[in-house]
Structure 1
Amino acid sequence: MVISPEASAAITLLLASAACGLCYSKLAQEPIRRKQLDVQYVKACVQDIQFKEKTLFCQPAFDSLKDEQFKIFYDEVVITLGCSTNTFNTPGVDEHVFMQRQLLHIAIVVGGPTGIEIAAELTDLFVGDLMKLYQHLRGKASVKVHDVAPNILTPFDQKLSKYAQESLQKHKAEIKVSSHITNVTTDTIETRKYGKIAYGILIWAAGNTQRPFQTSSIL
């Protein structure tokens, strides 16, 4: 049995393509409940665990049943908290980074594998299909990658980092290194080095951080 408020898990390798419309967004999701697997799925949140009694106290993950609670008894329990987007406690990130349509400037925070991949996908999209469909917008769309490190793709070989940077710049994507984000608003990011920069879409690709482990009482 799997208990989770989400019925699927994201396939991270497809997220960049899904964001650019190159594949259907649902293809980037792996359903928990499948006919090939003998797994019972319960859409709920575990609110409390009584280890001595081997009991889970659960709340249905539906708005209409949010005040209900039920118990599930177990023989063995595996706790997998998953992860959340790492905001580094930057003010405003949680409220404002979900693809707002205002301007055609796209700011991508952190030049790691995910950030660089989506930057490449977006520049290809702008140079290719979009500019053929919307020729009056030619030259107005832009992609800018911000990274607090002195280079992009820092965990990888320097040759790969240099190649990625030159390739992106060739396609008119700007690379802003040593760019420390101090605050995020509805339409701007504030940086220590470059000041305040307006954006239309902000993509936060700064990796993941562990979820807090919280229950009302664990015995």
Structure 2
Amino acid sequence: MQSLPTGYQALILGATGAIGGALAAQLAADPRCAQVVALSRQSTPAMDFEQPQSIATAAEALRPQGPWHLIVVATGMLSSPTGGPEKRLADLNATHLATSFATNTIGPALALAHFAPQLAKGERSLLAVLSAKVGSIGDNRLGGWYSYRASKAALNMLLKTAAIEVARTHPQAVLAALHPGTVDSALSAPFRGAQIGRPPAAAAQDLLAVLDRLQPQDSGGFWAYDGQRLPW
């Protein structure tokens, strides 16, 4: 991360996931990074999007270690015991819709609310959330996957709105929604096989490279791993 100050501090939320773990590992190997804190259900402090209070508790516990120059919310859920990607309207059920929004939208939104104020002021800082290209309304040509699409589209709106507010207090900050592409992970494996995309390390490298290039005027945008700007 050449665009961040020497000795920058990074925070990964959802570090036990494939991409989150790869991001944490690459940042830990960066000699310019002074500290990487990786949060998950198993970390101390613990953070669990199914327990919203844990987000506020973790943020308060980590406040003395800040400010943060890089924060990445690397969480996401495509299927769960409540259901999987719906092919038809008839497949919709309220429980799975609520679960999708809890993990993909509400949890990250609360993370934005509690951690964005801890971004470094007066110098460059970055905050990213992992979104998905299928969350693009303008790019939706196939239909299906109702819960996942809708929850990621809602996340994009929250990120865009937060970017407008954060710019008032952190004019050098960049907030971005990122599409990591198809990655070999537990999230994707049930639908396309165990080896269906790029290794998590390659995805993490691409995402960090995209963030490194973004400027304050790009804040609030939706970007693919190859640097392409995606439509809402």
Greater length-normalized contact order (CA 8 Å, ≥ 6 residues apart): 1
Higher fraction of strand: 1
Higher fraction of helix: 2
Report the structure number with the largest CA radius of gyration.
Answer: 1
Q: TM-score, normalised by structure 2?
A: 0.32
